């Protein structure tokens, strides 16, 4: 909607002029009041909805839950209340996955059932048992949350077969919507970058100063609640943490259309396989046919030590599900289980990429090495991201 009004509010009224909105947000402690005001005005259908947005925000609800989406690497990722809001720093996992993914179909694996070459529709509509010997690269995103990692990989590599798993049905519902939208190539899947989103906007107090930090980054990440006591910055998520982008056309990642099982990739004419989203505990819900076929396992599993959760900014600790944050006493419980189970699912020479914090990176690498992988710690200062890239068979590619 258009922002109209005098813009002379003091922060205490309920006006919808831009100046009034900014003042109200600022009074509520929103560091990125101007940017949020722009977003709310752009996204609200009418003055009543705008007022609802503002009331929720002033009450402390994360921007992403109010809008129903977060921006991640140029995509609008659907998020619902309680579902982990994708953080910009997780872009490092996508970057590394794209780096290690096979560039071309594996030799000798052409024309498998369940893949499609040419135009038209796949005959077997994506049954999970139909992907044996697929020539397409296969990515398994464990602890997928809203599906950001898989969606970003699929957007960059539409030839990839993506499987995403989360234990939380609310998360997999979001992931399915986002992955389907990207897969089906709906323009609505894409968010325009904004001046205040994505890179260069890391939280000043923010992410990964050595602590478990599934909280941080975001749209600009000033972290009013996220002071970093003793470097355990599980926060970084700030009031206004949004990974957001102004893309009014894209409000319907939520779109209702369900994709066909396979569609031709115009660029390569290679098969493009429908993404699969599974609800359950790590590897448990996966089809047996996936064993030994996965090229890359990605995991941004919860990695905040239980004791540090209380240090996280309220937007994370009060609004995101505990299961999305709590990594156990040292934060590494889920990472151990990811590492232990990986070999069974990976193809020869496959990779495991796990997001971690600077403080925990050596321990994460040790976990992967103990599971028989060669592990390398990687950093992206631009998004303040840390990850460990592990390779089966001892070759890291670096």
Ligand X SMILES: C[S@@+](CC[C@H](N)C(=O)[O-])C[C@H]1O[C@@H](n2cnc3c(N)ncnc32)[C@H](O)[C@@H]1O
Distance CA 280, CA 272 (A): 25
- Closest contact distance (angstroms) between CB of 343 and ligand X is 18
Question: Which tokens hold the place of 364?
Answer: 């994460």
Q: Which residue is nearest to ligand X (CB)?
A: 145
Which among 32, 90, 20, 89 is positioned nearest to 63, based on CA atoms? 32
Question: Which tokens hold the place of 68?
Answer: 């129903």
Cβ atoms of 272 and 263 closer than 8 Å: yes
Site map (CB under 6 A) of ligand X, residues 69-88, x = contact: ---------------x-x--
Residue 302 touching ligand X (CB under 6 A): yes
Residue 139 touching ligand X (CB under 6 A): no
Cβ atoms of 139 and 298 closer than 8 Å: yes
- Closest contact distance (angstroms) between CB of 176 and ligand X is 13
Residue 245 touching ligand X (CB under 6 A): no
Cβ atoms of 165 and 141 closer than 8 Å: yes
- Distances in Å between the Cα of 221 and the Cα atoms of 88, 97, 204, 217, 218 are 10, 25, 7, 5, 5
The residue from 281, 307, 318, 344 that contacts ligand X (CB under 6 A) is 281
- Closest contact distance (angstroms) between CB of 213 and ligand X is 10
Indicate the residue among 168 and 384 with the shorter CB distance to ligand X: 168
Counts of helices then strands in the chain (DSSP H, E): 10, 11
Residue 143 touching ligand X (CB under 6 A): yes
The residue from 300, 356, 360, 386 that contacts ligand X (CB under 6 A) is 300
- Residue by residue, DSSP assigns 34-99 as HHHHHHHHHH-SSHHHHHHHHHHHHTT--HHHHHTEEEETTEEEE--TTSPPPPGGGHHHHHHHHH
Q: Which of residues 158-177 bind ligand X (CB under 6 A)?
A: 165-168, 171
Q: Which of residues 317-356 bind ligand X (CB under 6 A)?
A: 323-324, 334
Residue 214 touching ligand X (CB under 6 A): yes
- Closest contact distance (angstroms) between CB of 171 and ligand X is 4
Site size with ligand X, rule: CB under 6 A: 23
The residue from 301, 352, 353, 367 that contacts ligand X (CB under 6 A) is 301
Residue 308 touching ligand X (CB under 6 A): no
- The values of phi and psi at residue 345, to 5°, are -105, -20
Site map (CB under 6 A) of ligand X, residues 32-51, x = contact: --------------------
Cβ atoms of 216 and 206 closer than 8 Å: yes
Indicate the residue among 237 and 282 with the shorter CB distance to ligand X: 282
Residue 91 touching ligand X (CB under 6 A): no
In three-state secondary structure terms, 245 is coil
321: Cβ contacts below 8 Å, ≥ 6 apart: 82, 83, 84, 168, 170
Which region, judged by CB under 6 A, interacts with ligand X, from 141-149, 155-163, 266-274, 369-377?
141-149
Residues lying near ligand X in the complex (CB under 6 A)? 84, 86, 90, 143-146, 148-149, 165-168, 171, 214, 281-282, 300-302, 323-324, 334
């Amino acid at each position: 909607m258009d922002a109209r009004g005098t813009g002379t509010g003091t922060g205490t009224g309920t006006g919808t002029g831009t100046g009034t909105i900014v003042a109200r947000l600022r009074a509520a402690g929103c560091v990125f009041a101007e940017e949020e005001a722009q977003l709310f005005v752009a996204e609200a259908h009418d003055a009543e909805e705008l007022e609802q947005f503002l009331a929720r925000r002033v009450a402390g609800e994360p921007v992403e839950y109010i809008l129903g989406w977060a921006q991640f690497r140029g995509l609008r990722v659907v998020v619902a209340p309680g579902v982990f809001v994708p953080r910009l720093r997780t872009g490092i996992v996508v970057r590394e996955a794209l780096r290690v993914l096979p560039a071309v179909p594996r030799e000798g694996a052409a024309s498998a059932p369940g893949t499609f070459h040419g135009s038209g529709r796949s005959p077997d509509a994506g049954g999970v048992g139909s992907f044996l010997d697929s020539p397409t690269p296969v990515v398994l995103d464990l602890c997928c949350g809203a599906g950001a990692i898989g969606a970003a990989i699929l957007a960059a590599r539409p030839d990839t077969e993506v499987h995403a798993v989360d234990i939380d049905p609310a998360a997999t519902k979001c992931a399915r919507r986002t992955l389907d939208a990207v897969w089906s190539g709906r323009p609505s899947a894409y968010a325009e970058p904004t001046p205040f989103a994505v890179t260069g906007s890391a939280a000043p107090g923010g992410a990964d100063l050595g602590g478990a930090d599934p909280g941080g980054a975001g749209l600009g990440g000033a972290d009013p609640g996220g002071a970093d006591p003793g470097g355990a910055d599980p926060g970084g998520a700030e009031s206004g943490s949004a990974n957001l982008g102004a893309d009014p056309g894209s409000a319907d990642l939520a779109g209702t259309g369900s994709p066909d099982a396979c569609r031709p990739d115009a660029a390569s004419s290679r098969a493009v396989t429908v993404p699969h989203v599974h609800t359950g505990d790590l590897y448990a819900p996966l089809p047996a046919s996936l064993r030994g076929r996965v090229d890359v396992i990605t995991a941004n599993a919860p990695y905040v030590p239980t004791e540090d959760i209380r240090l996280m900014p309220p937007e994370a600790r009060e609004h995101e599900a505990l299961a999305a944050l709590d990594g156990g006493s040292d934060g590494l419980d889920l990472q151990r289980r990811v590492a232990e189970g990986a070999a069974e699912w990976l193809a020869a020479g496959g990779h495991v990429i796990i997001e971690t914090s600077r403080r925990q990176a050596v321990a994460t690498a040790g976990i992967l090495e103990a599971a028989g992988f060669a592990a390398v710690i990687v950093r992206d200062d631009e998004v303040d991201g840390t990850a460990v890239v592990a390779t089966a068979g001892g070759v890291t590619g670096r």
